[in-house]
Amino acid sequence: MGKIITSGLVTGVISGMLLLLVCAYVEFAAEMELATLLLNVDFVYGGSFGIVLEVLLHLAVSVILATVLKWLYVYKKNLYMPGMVTIGAVTTLLYFILSALSVQDLELYGYIGFTLWVILHIGYLEALHLMFRLGM
- 103 pLDDT exceeds 90? no
CA–CA separation, 27 and 31 (whole Å): 5
- 45 pLDDT exceeds 80? no
Mark out the alpha helices in 31-76 (DSSP H runs): 34-39, 51-75
Give 49's pLDDT tier (boundaries 50, 70, 90). confident
Range of the domain at 100: 2-133
Q: Report the number of distinct structural domains present in the chain.
A: 1
The pTM assigned to this predicted structure is 0.93
Q: 11-50: buried (b, 16+ CB within 10 Å) or exposed (e) per residue?
A: bbebbbebbbebbeebbeeeebbbbbbbbbbbeeeeeeee
